[in-house]
Structure 1
Amino acid sequence: MLNAKLSDAVAAIRARTDMVPEIALTLGSGLGPLADHLDGTTIPYADIPHFPVSTVQGHDGVLMVGTLFGRACVAMRGRVHMYEGYSAQEVAFPMRVMAALGAQTAIFTNAAGGMGEGMQVGDLVAIEDHLSLAVASGHDPLRGPNDPGIGERFVSMNRAYDPELIDLVQSLSPDIARGVYGHLVGPSFEPPALIRLLKLAGVDLAGMSTVPEVIAARHMGVRVLALSAVTNIAVSSTADSHVTNEAEVWESIRIIEPKLLALMQALIPGLPAVEA
């Protein structure tokens, strides 16, 4: 039962800290150093019952609970992905734990390939909608028995990415655009034919995370803000000889880190409080 698993995980965390977080942060590939500024308790994922453990470089695999820029936060320093072999439900479980700890607002960051008009490596983009071929084909984290004590059976994904929070981000950094995120399982990078299909569907970004966690957050009534860091430009033609590789992505992340940190320093203190 999900409730029992959540209770086990929350109890293990509560044994180490009694702080009730307002904000949950899921920090994607290479973006974990933001958590260096969080003052609090660090718990390895392996020490939390039922918690999936990160297996990918750049995902440190620790949960941090404490104060970040003046706000009570819980932060995942690194996430897990379906391509590691986890189900959508397992990928979403950490978000459920953070919500059960008390978080009412969730901020997600990820690394993504850009395909929207004018996008460049180093851009930050606020996600305003998503398209998930995995979810559409049956890998929805809400699939299976529903616990009404956690959320409703059917959950709307319209405005899943909170427009007020997106407006707040753009007021702080007007150069941040909005975009549609295409969720793919990976770990292979997208072939040109798939990029062309996604472009036809109005997708601006392609990545391998975030959507299962967002669905779980909305299922539990948590407000969502998601930001993609454009680490490469997606190739849409086999005539283009460029081959996207992991080294390219990591180099781009190093450029983006200071920009993301500056945004969070301005954003987190001003996030509206949400009544539980």
Structure 2
Amino acid sequence: MNNLLNKIDETTKYIKEKINIDLDIGLILGSGLGTLANEIKNPIFLKYEDIPNFPISTVEGHEGQLVIGNLEGKKVVAMQGRFHYYEGYSMGEVTFPVRIMKSLGIKMILVTNACGGMNKELYPGALMIIEDHINFIGDNPLIGKNFEKLGPRFPDMSHAYDSDLIKLAEKVARDLRIELKKGVYAAISGPNYCARAELKMLRTIGGDTIGMSTVPEVIVAKHAGLKVLGISCVTDMAIAEEIESIDHEQVVEIANQTRPKFINLVKSILKEVII
């Protein structure tokens, strides 16, 4: 397990040799939302396959590269595609990029995802700020030996999502006249979509949206002392009594349709956020 610290050092050294800027913010871009990285100025592209110790993204809609540069006056590193537990990666591998972003100097991370809506007030194309989450994946990225250098043994997750960043996002959305919902994101392992009984259970215990990512990354980000803002793009409705068949192509299609609104919101948040 000491190998983790060595891997972080090796990967950080490799990336720092490719860039010459101090970074402010990390972005993790979910299915269909990766084109936000195309807005980054003076970009440096690093393919995951070329980065030491990085997994490879295997999911459609994920480009599989880091994009580093300037966005709305902030120095950012964007993951254009993420890793998932259902791809066969360990929780440590799924969250390794968050460790690297922290090592590169970021103070804040913005995580995004495409998800299903379980709350009837949501709709395909809705954007939702994540206020809290439910980890129903069945695993945790902090299991195992803890290194105090990376974070405390028992990190508090009662306020995993930064309240000031949530208020800023709401203010920006009002200024842009973008409807922005708030709610709880429930994470499952996947890769199958849920059965009706499972959806009913997750809604009953407080989930507003459901997806297969985000929560492991947020846990590690909070463990590392980073401020976190989470935004979900609802691509389909996952209501037990009304569920219809869904496939990944539909998820990506709705995310693509919502993209202009999403990009406008995120860029405006980055412009106003103070690091």
TM-score normalised over the length of structure 1: 0.95
Q: Give the aligned partner of residue 192 of structure 1.
A: 196
What is the count of residue pairs matched by the alignment? 268
User: For residues 196 and 48 of structure 1, do their structure 2 counterparts lie closer, same or farther at Cα, with a shift above 3 Å needed?
Assistant: same
Equivalent-residue separation in structure 2 for 1:220 and 1:262 (angstroms):
28
Equivalent-residue separation in structure 1 for 2:144 and 2:4 (angstroms):
11
Determine if contact 1:19/1:65 at 8 Å carries over to the other structure.
no
RMSD: 1.0
User: For residues 267 and 241 of structure 1, do their structure 2 counterparts lie closer, same or farther at Cα, with a shift above 3 Å needed?
Assistant: closer
Determine if contact 1:184/1:206 at 8 Å carries over to the other structure.
yes
Amino acid in the other structure paired with 1:248 = Q
User: For residues 128 and 241 of structure 1, do their structure 2 counterparts lie closer, same or farther at Cα, with a shift above 3 Å needed?
Assistant: closer
Question: Secondary structure of 2:99's partner?
Answer: helix
**1:144-192, Cα deviation, whole Å (9 max, x unpaired):** 0111111111100011011111111111114211110000010101111
Determine if contact 2:24/2:75 at 8 Å carries over to the other structure.
yes
Equivalent-residue separation in structure 2 for 1:75 and 1:251 (angstroms):
21
Equivalent-residue separation in structure 1 for 2:142 and 2:269 (angstroms):
30
- Unaligned runs of 5+ residues in structure 1 are none
Instruction: Report whether the alignment pairs 1:116 with 2:119.
Output: yes
Question: Secondary structure of 1:186's partner?
Answer: coil
**How far does residue 47 in structure 1 lie from its aligned partner after superposition?**
1.2
**Alignment match of 1:253 (pick from 233, 251, 255):** 255
Q: Give the aligned partner of residue 48 of structure 1.
A: 51
**1:204-250, Cα deviation, whole Å (9 max, x unpaired):** 0000000110011011100000000000000303xx47211222212
Q: Give the aligned partner of residue 27 of structure 1.
A: 29
**Alignment match of 2:88 (pick from 81, 85, 88):** 85
Question: Secondary structure of 1:173's partner?
Answer: helix
Question: Secondary structure of 1:15's partner?
Answer: helix
Q: Give the aligned partner of residue 170 of structure 2.
A: 170
Instruction: Report whether the alignment pairs 1:215 with 2:219.
Output: yes
Instruction: Report whether the alignment pairs 1:36 with 2:20.
Output: no
Equivalent-residue separation in structure 2 for 1:34 and 1:169 (angstroms):
17
Equivalent-residue separation in structure 1 for 2:223 and 2:217 (angstroms):
10
- Unaligned runs of 5+ residues in structure 2 are none
Q: Which runs of 4+ in 1 moved over 3 A?
A: none
Equivalent-residue separation in structure 2 for 1:152 and 1:241 (angstroms):
41
Determine if contact 1:155/1:218 at 8 Å carries over to the other structure.
yes
Determine if contact 1:112/1:229 at 8 Å carries over to the other structure.
yes
Q: Give the aligned partner of residue 265 of structure 1.
A: 267
Equivalent-residue separation in structure 2 for 1:241 and 1:122 (angstroms):
17
Amino acid in the other structure paired with 1:80 = F
**How far does residue 117 in structure 1 lie from its aligned partner after superposition?**
3.0
Equivalent-residue separation in structure 2 for 1:194 and 1:220 (angstroms):
32
Equivalent-residue separation in structure 1 for 2:266 and 2:131 (angstroms):
18
Amino acid in the other structure paired with 1:260 = F
TM-score normalised over the length of structure 2: 0.95
